[in-house]
Amino acid sequence: MADGKRLIGPAGAVLLRRCADRTGLTDPLAGVLPSSTAAGWRDRAGVLVHLAIAIVLGAANLSEAEQLQLHHRPLFGIAASDSTARSMLAVLDGATLAKIAKARAKVRRQVWSLLHLRPGGFPWLTVAGKRLTGWIVIDLDATIITSASNLAADLDAWLRLLALHDIDGLANAEPDTMRFRLYHLSARLAEHARRRWLRIERTWPWATSFTTCWQQLTALPAIT
Q: Where are the domains of the chain?
A: 7-218
* pLDDT tens digits, 113-144: 888 777 766 666 555 566 656 544 444 443 33
- So what's the pLDDT on residue 75? 82
Residue 98 predicted with pLDDT over 70: yes
68: helix, strand or coil: helix
Q: What is the pTM of this model?
A: 0.83
Residue 32 predicted with pLDDT over 80: yes
Q: At what angle do helices 146-163 and 44-57 cross, to 10 degrees?
A: 70
- So what's the pLDDT on residue 6? 75
Residues pairing with 131 in the sheet:
126
The answer to whether 115 and 125 have CB atoms below 8 angstroms apart is no
DSSP string, 2-42: -STT-EESSTTHHHHHHHHHHTT-HHHHHTTS----STTPP
- So what's the pLDDT on residue 139? 46
* pLDDT tens digits, 133-175: 654 444 444 333 456 778 898 899 899 989 998 898 998 888 8
213: helix, strand or coil: helix
